[in-house]
């Protein structure tokens, strides 16, 4: 998988592997989700460490790419459930500059509590 | 050296049109199908606003999956028509489409000043019809808005 889709796939693989230093993120990345907005690579990576701590697999269901954007829908698999998520990525110069994440915030919170 | 495996396959075919022309024809066909997917997706989005999905037909086994449950075609149409009465407009933030799927990112704006509602719908397409919708949104946000 090449191009921006490949970069997003590499990002998701690195999340599952907990290889946070290799995440292809811009320094000024913006992440928007039902939990709020996180700006900057360092705070976002710290948030990632918490969110994916129980994630064993990211099962990609669909992926589309157009221009500087990639959209992915997947299930984040933890020991207690499969969390449906879709994310809309914006990329520039081989790095992810923005992620808009769509999921049910209440279900995600319940999943985190149960893990 | 052709990078695409389809080009390599076509290059092996004797007595056919030149591989480059065949590939261009296939690309044009795929592009046309993708544009068809975009048209269906846009008609679907308009259906969310109006409750009328005549221009974006569903397959008989249509199913819509959301964070708050699954709906068949009748249940989906009932839900959307109820929602459409509350809407002022539907704003398209982004769209991607291929031959068999489309992804729509949009915002619902309500008539009565309720907060905007953000969602992404993935459409599975089959022979010019919508076979499935997988909707992604924050259900707690939806409930807050419906009770506002």
> Rounded distance, CA B63 to CA B117, Å?
22
**Phi, psi for A93 (deg, rounded to 5):** 55, 40
The ipTM is 0.91
> Rounded distance, CA A46 to CA A36, Å?
15
Hey, of A4, A103, A108, A109, which one would you mutate to test binding to chain B, going by the most B CBs within 10 A of its CB? A103
Q: Is B57 on the interface with A (CB under 8 A)?
A: no
In 10 A of CB A70, how many CB atoms? 26
Section B16-28 average pLDDT = 70
> Rounded distance, CA B45 to CA B84, Å?
11
Q: Determine whether the interchain pair B105/A71 forms a contact, defined as Cβ–Cβ distance below 8 Å.
A: yes
**Phi, psi for B16 (deg, rounded to 5):** -120, 175
In 10 A of CB B146, how many CB atoms? 13
In 10 A of CB B104, how many CB atoms? 25
Min Cα distance A110 → chain B (Å) is 12
| Residues of chain B contacting residue A100, judged by C-beta atoms under 8 Å apart | 105
Q: A85 with A76: CB under 8 angstroms?
A: yes
Burial B6-35 (b: 16+ CB within 10 A, else e): eeeebeeeeeeeebeebbeeeeeeeeebbe
DSSP, res B114:
P
Q: Determine whether the interchain pair B94/A106 forms a contact, defined as Cβ–Cβ distance below 8 Å.
A: no
Residue A88 has pLDDT above 60, yes or no: yes
Give this prediction's pTM: 0.84
List pLDDT tens digits, range B41-78: 999 999 999 988 888 789 999 999 999 999 999 999 99
Q: Which two tokens stand for residue B25?
A: 């024809």
DSSP, res A54:
T
Cross-strand bridge partners of residue B139: none
Q: Determine whether the interchain pair B137/A107 forms a contact, defined as Cβ–Cβ distance below 8 Å.
A: no
List pLDDT tens digits, range A18-56: 999 999 999 999 999 999 999 999 999 999 999 899 899
């Amino acid at each position: 998988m090449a191009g921006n889709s490949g970069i997003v796939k590499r990002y998701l693989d690195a999340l599952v592997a907990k290889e946070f230093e290799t995440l292809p993120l811009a320094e000024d990345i913006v992440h928007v989700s039902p939990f709020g907005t996180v700006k900057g690579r360092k705070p976002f990576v710290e948030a990632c460490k918490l969110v994916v701590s129980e994630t064993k697999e990211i099962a990609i269901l669909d992926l589309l790419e157009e221009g500087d954007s990639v959209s992915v829908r997947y299930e984040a698999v933890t020991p207690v459930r499969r969390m449906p998520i879709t994310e809309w990525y914006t990329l520039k110069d081989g790095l992810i500059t923005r992620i808009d994440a769509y999921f049910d915030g209440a279900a995600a919170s319940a999943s985190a509590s149960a893990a | 050296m052709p990078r695409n495996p389809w080009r390599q396959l076509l290059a092996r075919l004797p007595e056919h049109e030149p591989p480059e022309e065949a590939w261009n024809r296939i690309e044009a066909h795929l592009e046309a199908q993708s544009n068809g997917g975009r048209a269906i997706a846009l008609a679907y989005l308009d259906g969310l606003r109006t409750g009328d999905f005549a221009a974006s037909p569903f397959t008989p086994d249509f199913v819509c999956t959301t964070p708050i449950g699954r709906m068949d075609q009748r249940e989906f149409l009932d839900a959307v028509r109820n929602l459409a009465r509350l809407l002022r407009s539907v704003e398209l933030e982004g769209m991607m489409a291929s031959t068999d799927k489309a992804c729509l990112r949009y915002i619902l704006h309500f008539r009565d000043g309720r907060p905007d509602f953000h969602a992404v719908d993935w459409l599975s397409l089959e022979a010019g019809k919508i076979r499935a919708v997988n909707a992604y949104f924050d259900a707690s946000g939806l409930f807050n808005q419906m009770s506002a």
